[in-house]
Every structure is written in C-alpha cells, then in structure tokens.
Amino acid sequence: MGNVPHDHLAGNYSYSFFQALSDQVVTGPTGTNVADISIGAVAGSRRL
C-alpha cells in the first residue's frame, strides 16, 4: 500500500500510516471507555 495518505484514509488504516511516520499518539490504558479524541485548531480571527 505504501504510505499514501489517501489510501490509508480510504481503508481506515490510520494506525499503520502514523506508525510508518513514527508519529503515533499512544496513550496506554486510560481505565475509561472513551475511544475518541478530538483536537481542534483555530487560525487567527478577524475583528469587525
């Protein structure tokens, strides 16, 4: 498959994509049933 972002996204293979980049977020056991993380970024704002 190589490391083509589109291929990994289409197949839901994010783990192997980020593993190949050594750029994974590995939290270890959390003791909760929360399986998702959301991260947001906001660019500068414009004042009116």
The tens digit of pLDDT for each residue in 1-46 reads: 567 888 888 888 888 888 888 888 887 877 776 667 777 877 877 7
CB 8 within 8 A of CB 14: yes
> In the chain, how long is the greatest CA-to-CA distance?
48
Residue 17's pLDDT is what? 85
Rounded to whole angstroms, how far apart are CA atoms 39 and 9?
18
Q: What is the pLDDT of residue 23?
A: 85
Residue 34, token pair as written in the block: 């929360």
Q: What pLDDT is recorded for position 34?
A: 67
Instruction: Tell me the whole-structure pTM to 2 decimals.
Output: 0.45
